[in-house]
Amino acid sequence: MDFLRPGSWEEALAAKAEHPTAVPIAGGTDVMVEINFDHRRPEYLLDLNRIGELNDWEVGEDSVRLGASVPYTSIMENLRAELPGLALASHTVASPQIRNRGGVGGNLGTASPAGDAHPALLAAGAEVEVESVRGSRRIPIDDFYTGVKRNALAADELIRAVHIKKAEGPQQFSKVGTRNAMVIAVCAFGLALHPSSRTVRTGIGSAAPTPVRAKAAEEFLNAALEEGGFWDNGKIITPSVAKQFADLCAAACNPIDDVRGTASYRRHAVGIMARRTLTWTWESYRGTAATEGAA
Ligand SMILES: Cc1cc2nc3c(=O)[nH]c(=O)nc-3n(C[C@H](O)[C@H](O)[C@H](O)COP(=O)(O)OP(=O)(O)OC[C@H]3O[C@@H](n4cnc5c(N)ncnc54)[C@H](O)[C@@H]3O)c2cc1C
């Protein structure tokens, strides 16, 4: 196995163009497990750790540009206000050691349906900035996951950054596992309120071949909130609306039975998480709206 160590982004792109089968390694928390278990024996490893810019982030007016290798710990410590859903998801990843190494670029590279960043990215609305020697493009997160552990990257492309909309309303993330730490999700759910567009977005993890949004549930809820004037009057969401939303989220799942849980349990749990995260975020929105109204 050859170890390629580019010193700059341009060198990394050139190396990937020359060796398209080279496997990039960032934190290594997925790659090294695969190599150690002999699930993968790449001819080349492409080490991205000398490329400092991949560990940087920029907070813009509307969005955050998150370098591909920014570790979960930095997201939790520095971007909680801008990216609350992703910060909450980061908290649930593995252990402090893994959170110090692993990042969103690696989660996207692996594209496991159980990756914890995905529901938060889907709910917030994100774009993945990828590049090759041929040029750069931005892939909307909805188009990024193409199959079980498959993504939309071409063989010569690398992930440079992820652009995530800054939160303008409450966001939540919920994960079911057998314990609180060091656990792969049985299933997970992300929800973000977007008051300026009066929309709600969702993300479901580990309950379908890829991370998915519950689009029918979102459409139902958006219409119900609009019809009842909820965004303006800040009323409590009625139990029947919350239940219908939860049922539609459960229906958006296409899970399997595996060692971590059955398909029917996953559907059930997604429904529960959908109702809970909706209640938490809406209560928080009502609180903020009430404070703003009083000011
Ligand atoms: C003990 C343990 C517990 C874990 N628990 C969790 C958990 O709770 N939740 C969770 O979501 N994950 C978990 N993981 C998986 C892993 O930590 C995450 O997926 C993490 O986000 C991977 O990031 P990384 O930087 O270490 O990726 P790496 O291992 O370096 O790379 C992962 C994949 O992404 C590709 N890649 C990396 N960077 C780029 C780039 N810039 N461009 C293109 N491709 C790239 C690599 O080639 C590889 O295919 C766990 C892993 C371990 C070992």
127 and 61 share one domain: yes
Could you give the C-alpha distances from 70 to 43, 75, 90, 244, in angstroms and in order? 26, 7, 11, 38
37 and 125 share one domain: yes
For atom 12 of ligand 1, the residue with the nearest CA is: 115
Share of the chain above pLDDT 70, in %: 98
34 and 144 share one domain: yes
**Domain containing residue 32:** 2-165
Residue 188 Cβ inside 6 Å of ligand 1? The answer reads no
Q: Which amino acid is at 135?
A: G
pLDDT per position as a tens digit, 42-77: 999 999 999 999 999 999 999 999 999 999 999 999
**Band of the pLDDT at 152, cuts 50, 70, 90?**
very high
Residue 102 Cβ inside 6 Å of ligand 1? The answer reads yes
Instruction: Please tell me the distance between residue 29's alpha carbon and the centre of ligand 1 in angstroms.
Output: 5
273 and 193 share one domain: yes
Instruction: Please tell me the distance between residue 30's alpha carbon and the centre of ligand 1 in angstroms.
Output: 4
21 and 145 share one domain: yes
For residue 295, pLDDT beyond 50? no
- Examine the fold and report which residue of 165, 198, 215 is the final residue of a domain before the chain moves on: 165
278 and 141 share one domain: no
Domain at 211, CATH number = 3.30.390.50
CB proximity list for 111: less than 8 A, separation 6 or greater: 144, 145, 146, 149, 150, 151, 210
Could you give the C-alpha distances from 2 to 15, 21, 26, 120, in angstroms and in order? 12, 12, 16, 35
pLDDT per position as a tens digit, 102-127: 999 999 999 999 999 999 999 999 99
Residue 103 Cβ inside 6 Å of ligand 1? The answer reads yes
Residue 159 Cβ inside 6 Å of ligand 1? The answer reads yes
- Examine the fold and report which residue of 135, 165, 195 is the final residue of a domain before the chain moves on: 165
Query: Which atom belonging to ligand 1 lies closest to the Cα atom of 46?
Result: 47
CA–CA distance, 142 with 128 (Å, rounded to integer)? 10
Query: Which atom belonging to ligand 1 lies closest to the Cα atom of 101?
Result: 26
For atom 15 of ligand 1, the residue with the nearest CA is: 30
CA angle 201, 109, 255 (to 5 degrees): 55
In the block, residue with structure tokens 């990937």? 16
pLDDT of residue 292: 62
The tokens for 181 are 């730490």
DSSP SS3 for 163 = strand
The tokens for 154 are 């071409």
Domain at 11, CATH number = 3.30.465.10
CA–CA distance, 158 with 134 (Å, rounded to integer)? 11
155 and 71 share one domain: yes
14 and 153 share one domain: yes
Q: DSSP 3-state helix, strand, coil percentages of the chain (rounded to 5)?
A: 40, 25, 35
DSSP string, 91-122: HTSS-HHHHHH-BHHHHHHHT-TT-SHHHHHH
- Any idea of the CA torsion for 208, 209, 212, 214, to the nearest 10 degrees? -30
185: phi then psi, degrees, rounded to nearest 5: -60, 135
pLDDT of residue 287: 87
58 and 86 share one domain: yes
pLDDT of residue 288: 80
Residue 73 Cβ inside 6 Å of ligand 1? The answer reads no
Instruction: Please tell me the distance between residue 54's alpha carbon and the centre of ligand 1 in angstroms.
Output: 14
Q: Which amino acid is at 227?
A: E
pLDDT per position as a tens digit, 225-252: 999 999 999 899 999 999 999 999 999 9
42 and 137 share one domain: yes
Instruction: Please tell me the distance between residue 231's alpha carbon and the centre of ligand 1 in angstroms.
Output: 38
46 and 130 share one domain: yes
pLDDT per position as a tens digit, 165-195: 999 999 999 999 998 889 899 999 999 999 9
Residue 30 Cβ inside 6 Å of ligand 1? The answer reads yes
- Number of domains within the chain: 2
